[in-house]
Homo-oligomer: A and B are copies of this chain.
Amino acid sequence: MARVVVDVMLKPEILDPQGQAVQRALPRLGFEGIADVRQGKRFELEVEGPVDDAALARIHEMAETFLANTVIEDFEVKVETSEGPK
């Protein structure tokens, strides 16, 4: 089965308090040199059947109408080759 990943991030102009909270905490934990942090969502979809153009088009539509709220979020669809986080 193939894996398709949809990454969803808040649009740059929208305040991201979660990312900010992470960034503010970093120096206290001894991690310097991170100028900005944004936190978003990652969806890993296991797709039955071939991931062809038609399938990708459907997933794109799914992301646009459902996985992301395009009023506030951008998204990107990627076909995974690696295995994802281990």
- Copies of this polypeptide in the complex: 2
Count residues on chain A whose CB falls below 8 Å from chain B CBs.
Answer: 41
**B residues less than 8 Å from A55 (CB atoms):** 33
Instruction: Select A84's contact among B1, B9, B43, B46, beta carbons within 8 Å.
Output: B9
**B residues less than 8 Å from A19 (CB atoms):** 43-44
- Closest 10 pairs (CB-CB, A-B): A76-B85, A36-B46, A74-B85, A42-B42, A35-B46, A38-B44, A40-B42, A9-B85, A33-B48, A31-B62
A-side interface residues toward B, CB under 8 Å? 1, 7-9, 19, 22, 25-26, 29, 31, 33-49, 55, 58, 61-62, 65-67, 73-76, 84-86
